[in-house]
Amino acid sequence: MQKGYWVSCYREIYDPNKLSAYAELAKSVVESRGGRFLVRGLSIYASGSGLLERTVIVEWPTLDAAQSAYDSDAYQAALDALSDGVDRDFRIVEGV
């Protein structure tokens, strides 16, 4: 099975407190479900239509694990905490 990845790019952060609350809850979900943070921080270079923005990449053992973690009640609670605190682009992608 191919690995799965969560890729989040934060276009704008409106409420750092909501982002902080989300980050704590999401970290717990990721670590308890077998995910591994590969990237958590600001971009240092961007080209084309890219933006210098906060980027987070989480690696999962399988695509199913990535989807299952996203669908979990615990992660949905993290999203509720985040609410309208950011404008972000989130994707689940399959590894090669």
What is the domain partition of the chain in residue ranges?
Answer: 4-94
Name the CATH code of domain 4-94 (choices 2.130.10.10, 3.30.70.100, 3.30.342.10, 3.30.429.10): 3.30.70.100
Q: What is the pLDDT of residue 24?
A: 97
Residue that has been written with the tokens 């905490």 in this structure: 81
What distance in Å separates the CA atoms of residue 29 and residue 74, rounded to the nearest whole number? 7
What residue ranges in the chain does DSSP mark as E strands?
Answer: 4-13, 36-42, 54-60, 86-94
Mean pLDDT of 35-45: 95
Question: pLDDT (tens digit, 9 = 90+) per residue, 43-61?
Answer: 999 999 888 999 999 999 9
What is the three-class DSSP state of 65?
A: helix
Torsion of CA 56, 83, 91, 75, to 10 degrees: 80
Q: What is the pLDDT of residue 50?
A: 87
Q: What percent of the chain has pLDDT over 70?
A: 100
